[in-house]
Amino acid sequence: MLRSSMNRLGLVILAIGLANCANTVTPLFPVSEGDIIDRPYTPVADVNSQVFFGGIFDEGTPEEMCLAKMKQEVVSQRGDALIFVRHGEKGYDLLLRRALRCSGRVVRFDTR
């Protein structure tokens, strides 16, 4: 009798825990303030770039340099925005220069 009541109590606690888990939603990508999340878009192209850094004349961080290079791709593709921007790990290329690879997707917003 005690064992069956403990099993029932365990099931109730499990059901409450699962109900609470169903209400929490974790976004796949972080959303920042000012991001446009409800506007339909059409993907134009996937872009990849690589920047070399470590020189005394570099302007900004490697991430900023990579983002600036990818923004040029947005302009050349006649896109409106760059989404899903990812930075790889900093490393070295074959000539032992410090390098950073990054990628993203150029999109054009749909007009209604």
Which of residues 19 and 106 earns the better pLDDT score?
Answer: 106
pLDDT greater than 80 at residue 25: no
Looking at mean pLDDT, say which of 1-5, 11-15, 94-98 comes out highest. Answer: 94-98
Domain ranges across the chain: 36-109
The pLDDT of residue 12 is 53
> Residue 112 has what pLDDT?
65
Domain 36-109 has CATH 3.30.110.70: yes
Is the CA virtual torsion 90, 66, 50, 84 positive or negative? Answer: positive
Taking only the tens place, the pLDDT of each residue in 71-99 is 898 899 888 888 888 888 777 777 777 88
Which is higher by pLDDT, 110 or 57? 110
CA distance 68 to 81: 13
Longest dimension (CA), the chain: 79
Please, which pLDDT band fits residue 32 given cuts at 50, 70 and 90? low
Q: Which pLDDT belongs to residue 89?
A: 77
* pLDDT for 41: 86
